[in-house]
């Protein structure tokens, strides 16, 4: 018998100009918010990465955490891969920039001038509470990164030479994610 999969959508958006961390806020709201709640921030003041270290999350980037309450237990690594693939696909297919993904959930883009692969996005998934998954992502889209960070990271604006609509970019990423999520 053929499997019919209904694609999900974001059910609620909590949009913030600034927060300490979308992931930290999602942890506190995980048990009270509905499945498909998206916490979105323009700027994070205390963003923490997978390694437990702070990372730059200034104006111009796309920072979010998606709260998921699936009916079945999921593999966190597969959720991370689904979001990483979704981001990578948009960068490659829509923005026409070469990408590759790392096993830990980073999206790297090729910078021609330095001839190096640099990080432009990272994804972190965690299980919070009973069956609630938090899929967090940070994407350097239109950022002006601090000089110290430019050796290893890059904003997509630096490669494109112009800004990209954050709203359209996020919409494409989430559309891609829901397609991947349907088959996890």
Task: Tell me the CATH number at 62.
Answer: 3.30.930.10
Tokens describing residue 120: 């432009």
CA distance 13 to 25: 13
Is 176 a domain residue? yes
Residue 146 structure tokens: 């601090």
Query: Does the pTM of the predicted model rise above 0.75?
Result: yes
Please tell me the total count of domains within the chain. 1
Is residue 53 scored above 90 in pLDDT? no
Helix axes 166-181, 76-93, angle to 10 degrees: 130
Quote the domain boundaries for residue 99.
12-181
Position 6 in a domain: no
Q: Which pLDDT band holds residue 1 (cuts at 50, 70, 90)?
A: low
Q: Is residue 99 part of a domain?
A: yes
Q: What is the pLDDT of residue 48?
A: 81
pLDDT of 113 higher than 70: yes
């Amino acid at each position: 018998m053929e499997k019919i999969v209904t694609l999900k959508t974001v059910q609620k958006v909590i949009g913030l100009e600034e927060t300490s961390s979308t992931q930290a806020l999602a942890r506190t709201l995980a048990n009270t918010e509905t499945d498909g709640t998206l916490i979105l921030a323009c700027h994070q003041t205390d963003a923490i990465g997978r390694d437990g270290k702070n990372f730059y999350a200034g104006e111009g980037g796309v920072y979010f955490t998606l709260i998921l309450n699936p009916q079945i237990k999921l593999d966190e690594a597969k959720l991370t891969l689904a979001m990483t693939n979704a981001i990578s696909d948009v960068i490659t297919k829509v923005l026409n920039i070469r990408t590759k993904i790392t096993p830990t959930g980073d999206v790297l883009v090729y910078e021609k001038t330095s001839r190096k692969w640099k990080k432009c996005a990272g994804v972190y998934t965690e299980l919070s509470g009973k069956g609630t998954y938090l899929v967090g992502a940070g994407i350097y889209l239109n950022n002006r990164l601090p000089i110290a960070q430019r050796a290893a990271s890059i904003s997509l604006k630096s490669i494109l030479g112009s800004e990209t609509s954050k709203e359209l970019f996020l919409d494409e990423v989430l559309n891609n994610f829901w397609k991947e999520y349907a088959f996890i």
